A and B are shown apart, each in its own frame.
Chain A
Amino acid sequence: MDQEKVIEIKGLYKSFGTYDVLKGVDLDLHKRENLVVLGKSGTGKSVLIKIIVGLLTPDQGAVKVLGQMVDKISYKELLALRLKVGFSFQNSALYDSMTVRQNLEFPLVRNQRNLTKGEVNQAVERVLDAVGLLQTINQMPSELSGGQRKRVGIARTLILQPEVMLYDEPTAGLDPITCLEINNLINEVQERFHTSSIVITHDLTCAKAVGNRVAMLLDGKFERQGTFDEVFNTDDERVKPFYEYNFIQ
């Protein structure tokens, strides 16, 4: 695998009021890998990727995305950077007053103003086809199922052809079969669009299926990073319940 780093995080701290969420996070994302971030609910996984796209500012530490420090660049440069980073929200965050087609067009026509109507339609259909939902193109988000919403959300980020994808709990709240489909989709996206991805999840099946590498967020830090087996081959009381819940039941 290519060892070029697309995301480099060093000594990242973030707190809300008196509550320290991230306490010295170090993390690298290499080119063309899928990194799975595991962690209990409320450990700051979403906060971490929101910092990566500049939705939140770090209190301390260096966050370098595609060679740029996200908290040091101007707003304009940040927008340019965000074009290259796709962000799939935990709750899909589809624009619920717009149809699926308008949802997908929204970022595209605002970032590439010289596209013709035909080119826009073509791009919309291409990504919608990639997530297997071409038939929903004229539906409203409220008419879609949870899994379909996730896919449309992913399609909406793919339409800008990002180099990096950040998935916030793509399988949360879905049935096991839909989870498998989403896992396949994540792998397909990586193959087809040559992205590097961070996948946040607490679903180990998903982690095993898509992750080249696993990092576990414990008490505001990544104490355990490595392959799936390296991370879980431990007696750490904070890690074992994860494994036991998912595979022994």
Chain B
Amino acid sequence: MDNKAENPAILQKQAKPPGKITRMFLTLYDVCQFVTRFFKEGFLPPYEGKELMRQCYDIGYRSLALISLTGFITGIVFTKQSRPSLAEFGATSWLPSLVGIALLRTLAPLLTSLIAAGKVGSSIGAELGSMRVTEQIDAMEVSATNPFKFLVTTRVLASTITIPILTFYTAMVGMLGALLNVSLFEDTSARAFFQASLEQITFLDITASTVKAIIFGFTIGIVGCYQGYNSSKGTEGVGKAANSAVVIGMFLIFIEEVVSVQFFGLFRT
């Protein structure tokens, strides 16, 4: 029987409490198993299509307002702050393409996934955590259904699908913010602004951002689900699950950002 995957309890099986290092490796092993299980079960029928749609809608809806606001303001502020430096070289005409590239390559994916890590990650962690604590996950288990499939797979897939979409949405809203700022200070038409900013964007930029956003989305989903699904008993466990979903999620997103910048840098010459 596949009990290690059901119970986070490989730690509890030890006669005496393991040391810090051992514990870290055991957790790592546990996480790997969790991820493997996602790939093993995520793509096998029967599918939970309805639940997946509900989760996608939920994740998108939950972060939309905040993302719109942040994206728009970032667009304005970034443009405003970049203008003086460019003006020094008499190069304010580069402003649109600078903003476009900065938003698409880095700002949009990072902003979106950090906000989602806060909003989505914590709510996944808390929701699954409280289901674990109140034995709802066990109840699914004993009624011969697969809670992993219904709860984890759908949420991870949903955030992996939704975050890239939200990322491009953020980039777009950010461009609108930039346009607002530019049109206040310069004599450019909206059409010319978008033309200038899109001109410099390459296929590689779009690919890199999409891949990054997919990775970030997957990370947010998997971390939130892992923390919630393996939450310890008691109400305290729920809070801890939500909290560590956010902290670990954000931490991993930054690491992944650094690595992917290095990686995609190899293709830019």
Contact = CB atoms under 8 A, between A and B. Distances in A.
Interface of A: 16-18, 50, 53-57, 70-71, 73-75, 78-80, 82-83, 85, 87, 89-91, 93-97, 106-107, 110-111, 113, 156-157, 160
B136 interface: yes
A107 B147 CA distance: 11
Contact of A57 (B1, B16, B140): B1
Contact of A55 (B6, B12, B136): B6
Interface residues of B, number: 26
Contacts of A56: 7
B2 interface: yes
Contacts of A17: 12, 14-17
B46 interface: yes
Contact of A160 (B17, B46, B136, B143): B143
Interface in B117-171: 127, 131, 134-136, 138-146, 150
Given A18-B16, A57-B1, 15 more contacts: A17-B14, A17-B15, A50-B138, A54-B1, A55-B6, A71-B1, A82-B142, A82-B143, A83-B144, A91-B134, A96-B136, A106-B145, A111-B144, A113-B46, A157-B143
A71 B135 CA distance: 21
B3 interface: yes
B145 to A, nearest CB: 4
B7, B135, B138, B141, most chain A CB atoms within 10 A: B135
A89 B135 contact: yes
A74 B1 CA distance: 5
Nearest to A72: B1
A55 B144 contact: no
Given A71-B1, A93-B134, A93-B139, A160 B144 contact: yes
Contacts of A87: 139, 142-143
B16, B139, B141, B142, most chain A CB atoms within 10 A: B142
Contacts of A73: 1
A71 B141 CA distance: 15
Contact of B3 (A57, A83, A96, A111): A57
A136 to B, nearest CB: 18
A82 B144 contact: yes
A75 B135 contact: no
Complex A-B, nearest 5 residue pairs according to Cβ-Cβ distance, in ascending order: A107-B143, A93-B139, A82-B144, A93-B135, A87-B142
B96 to A, nearest CB: 46
Contacts of B135: 89-91, 93
